[in-house]
Structure 1
């Protein structure tokens, strides 16, 4: 299937046109220098090849627009909180020491722990439902 075909949304169970859905949100996988590309192994019916990608893997056969809107909502709110705590690359706090010593832990208190939990579950769900062969082998 392609992103122009209809099918059952794996998230909402509604029938509709599929849209591209990132397995890992784009905001976590952009190259650190604008315009740079990642080298990505792609697997097709004719075999594997290497191509360039501007961000992470996406699957065009998981969700319809309604499902993607739900995932995008979770991504946006969760990444905003993770960024505020310095837990993602794009945070201005990321380069600060995360703990006082190298072998110690940093405890964080989430403002919305249920949202963060749903977000991480959504990442696991996306990885579980994708049929992208080279991703399934990694999981």
Structure 2
């Protein structure tokens, strides 16, 4: 099928675009392996060898741009030990004292923070631009989708108030699975201020992002944890078996077992 690339505006043949990077969501490390795939409104949980993709989103020009952001961003995530598939886990030997939350935190040093930033912006754009029904829980205004497209095409990080981002890394016992991105409102990490935010889960890493030009004081008070602008930033840490992600996954696996019985 041919059409207009929603990212670059070019006309051409559409190609399969993974909405979450294949390198972090593919189960094929063992032959026949499949990941649990789920989300709040993703019909019903399933087991699949790879995650969601869109066949009417981008042409090869747009996919090549997204692939570059994926390659650079994932390389940096793995170098920092921020995903389960990294050769070395996150170094938590420099803890950050936190008095306002039960979470732990550690300092991360990134050699190329811009690559992390562009990777996150590309995730936001894909989740906002797709029409796949599994992403119904990810609601983004069109003006934000347009702004993200402009930043990606110009390879610009934008302002620090544009889609402010921080990371939460799960340690300890792990269970690899895929989860649709969501949009939610909650009080996060000891904050008394509710914050609207976008949430991704990728290979043990939870990514929280605010809105474009987000004025919520929550993000400003967590400036030391802001991802993508400074070489050094804080990352929240939580044992996977103590996390919301683990609790949700347990419910999903129980439902899957009932379906497959």
TM-score bucket (shorter structure): 0.7 to 0.9
2:197 matched to which residue of 1?
none
Matches of 1:16 and 1:32 in 2, distance apart?
31
Q: Deviations over 1:59-105 (max 9, x none)?
A: 111110111111111111111111011111111212x6635668431
The aligned counterpart of 2:92 is 98
In the superposition, relative to structure 1, how do residues 99 and 132 fare at CA in structure 2: closer, same or farther (>3 Å)?
farther
Map of 1:71 onto structure 2:
66
User: Normalized against structure 2, the TM-score is what?
Assistant: 0.44
1:112-138 Cα distance to aligned partner (Å, 9 max, x none): 122211110100000000100121235
Counterpart among 19, 27, 35 of residue 38 in structure 1: 35
Q: Shift of the alpha carbon at 1:107? A: 1.6
Following superposition, the deviation at residue 34 of structure 1 comes to 1.5
CA separation of 1:33 and 1:109: change in aligned 2, threshold 3 A: same
Indicate the residue corresponding to 1:134 in structure 2: 134
Bigger relative contact order (CA 8 A; separation at least 6): 1
What residue in structure 2 maps to residue 62 of structure 1?
57
In structure 2, the residue matched to 1:45 is: none
Residue equivalent to 2:153: none
* Contact in 2 for aligned 1:127/1:136 (Cα 8 Å): no
Secondary structure at the residue paired with 1:34? Answer: coil
Shift of 1:38: 3.1
Q: Partner of 1:88 in structure 2?
A: 83
Offset from partner CA, 1:25-77 (integer Å, 9 cap, x none):
01111227522123557xxxxxx677653111111111101111111111111
Range with greater deviation from structure 2 (100-109 or 125-134): 100-109
Q: 2:12 aligns with which of 16, 33, 41?
A: 16
Give the Cα–Cα distance (whole angstroms) in 2 for the partners of residues 92 and 67 of structure 1.
30
**Cα RMSD, aligned residues only:** 2.4
- Relative to structure 1, the CA distance from residue 100 to residue 115 in structure 2 (aligned partners, 3 Å threshold; closer, same or farther) is closer
Contact 1:23 1:57 survives alignment (8 Å): yes
Alpha-carbon distance between aligned partners in 1 of 2:59 and 2:2, rounded to the nearest angstrom: 8
Question: Which segments of 5 or more consecutive residues in structure 1 lack a partner in the other structure?
Answer: 42-47
| Cα distance change on mapping 1:82 and 1:19 into 2, 3 Å | same
Paired residues, what number?
A: 128
